[in-house]
A and B are shown apart, each in its own frame.
Chain A
Amino acid sequence: DAKTTQPTSMDCAEGRAANLPCNHSTISGNEYVYWYRQIHSQGPQYIIHGLKNNETNEMASLIITEDRKSSTLILPHATLRDTAVYYCRHTGTASKLTFGTGTRLQVTL
């Protein structure tokens, strides 16, 4: 799969929405965007994935631009427990999972 570009770190106040951007300008038409996060000392955890349409689940919302070259993960009401490294990648359905260096989100009081 191809690489993505994410900010190295972000801060967010507790209770506010956290908006994490990701650029994936080389995404192919059949590739999904997917997000995982890793809380300190734990394994990565699946958050959400999408192809073209915006997606929402109990954890987050994923907004994908019309040209699919970028996306934003939204945590609507961030809590301290959302402090983690967030990974954005894109790949086809048959591919293995890979990670970059991600965005370190710090949620503060």
Chain B
Amino acid sequence: DTGVSQDPRHKITKRGQNVTFRCDPISEHNRLYWYRQTLGQGPEFLTYFQNEAQLEKSRLLSDRFSAERPKGSFSTLEIQRTEQGDSAMYLCASSLAGKGPYGYTFGSGTRLTVV
């Protein structure tokens, strides 16, 4: 297993367009998390799944954001009608439930630029 994979690594889009990011977690990990990171700040939690169930969503996750994990494996994060304020690094992480906040493995992120 090569760790957590995210695709694409970089995305430039025009304001108002929709974008979708993909995350492939470590295969035996049943939890998957999405974070957003803006310049100079630490990552901010967006949402997480345990298997295919979305168990928690942050207030940061506006109606324009939607995340899915249809078969409990890979996940997608879609942003509709992108705004310049959506420009950030979007990080995905996976872990095993019960391991606590120490067993996370992060991907390298997708950097979104909205122009």
Interface residues of A (CB under 8 A from B): 32, 34, 36, 38, 41-46, 49, 85, 87, 89, 91-102
Known: A34-B101, A89-B101. 5 other contacts (CB 8 A): A44-B104, A85-B42, A91-B100, A95-B100, A98-B42
In the assembled complex, the CB of B113 is this many whole angstroms from the nearest CB of chain A, namely: 14
Residues of A within 8 A of B8 (CB): none
The number of chain B residues with a CB under 8 A from chain A is 23
B-chain residues with CB within 8 Å of residue A92 when the two chains form the complex: 100
CB-CB under 8 A from B98, the residues of chain A are: 93
Whether A43 pairs with B101 at a CB distance below 8 angstroms is no
Contact A46 B100 (CB under 8 A): no
Q: Is B40 a contact of A101 with CB atoms below 8 Å?
A: yes
Known: A89-B101, A96-B33. A101 touches B41 (CB 8 A): yes
Q: What is B's interface to A at a CB cutoff of 8 Å? A: 4, 33, 40-45, 48, 56, 91, 93, 98, 100-109
Query: Are A34 and B45 CB-contacts (below 8 A) given A42-B108, A96-B56, A101-B40?
Result: no
Whether A43 and B93, one on each chain, are in contact in the complex, defined by CB atoms closer than 8 angstroms, is: yes
Min CB gap B7→A, angstroms: 14
Q: What is the CB-to-nearest-CB distance from B101 to chain A, in angstroms, rounded to a whole number?
A: 4
> Considering the chains assembled together, what is the distance between the CA atoms of A101 and B44 in angstroms?
10
B42 close to A99 (CB less than 8 A): yes
- Residue of B41, B43, B102 near A46 (CB, 8 A) is B102
Which residue on chain A has the smallest CB distance to residue B42?
A99
- Which 4 A-B pairs give the minimum distances between C-beta atoms? A43-B106, A99-B42, A93-B100, A97-B101
- Tell me if B42 and A43 are in contact (CB < 8 A): no
Q: Which residues of A contact B41 (CB under 8 A)?
A: 101
Chain B min CB distance to A51 (Å): 11
